[in-house]
Amino acid sequence: MTAGMIGIFQEIVTLFAIVGVGYGAKKLRFMNDEFDRMLSKLVINIALPGMILGSVLTATELPSQTEVWLCLGLSVASNLVMFAVAYGFTLLLRIPDGHRGVYRFMLCFG
């Protein structure tokens, strides 16, 4: 149990170090808005698809077709429930018409 906690602590420290380096780089003006946009494009268009492909291609065992359909069905069902909850809450809380869409989006995709 202690070894597990140490591993978690090391991961948290690593994440805080990465955030700290990013914060420092922004404060020292090594990064600007254009850099942020380009980095976001790099992560979304290249790194993320590469990570997805890498995880699928290196998997030793793929899930069964039943598990895939079950996962898809549960995700669709949970999204439908969240859409209904968001719609109900915006009406119940009497959110003004111009703001309802934003509140519904926040509730569904929090």
What pLDDT, in 10s, does the model give residues 30-74?
888 898 899 999 999 999 999 999 988 887 888 899 999 999 999
Task: Compute the distance between CA of residue 92 and CA of residue 24 in angstroms, rounded to an integer.
Answer: 44
At 82 the pLDDT is 94
Q: How confident is the model at residue 78 (pLDDT cuts 50, 70, 90)?
A: very high
The whole model's pTM is what?
0.52
Q: Which residues of 93-110 are buried (b: 16+ CB within 10 A; e: fewer)?
A: eeeeeeebeeebeebeee
Q: Which tokens in the block code for residue 92?
A: 């119940």
Task: Compute the distance between CA of residue 39 and CA of residue 25 in angstroms, rounded to an integer.
Answer: 14
Average pLDDT, the chain: 90
Percent of the chain with pLDDT over 70: 99
**Pick from 80, 81, 88, 87: nearest CA to 105:** 87
At 1 the pLDDT is 55
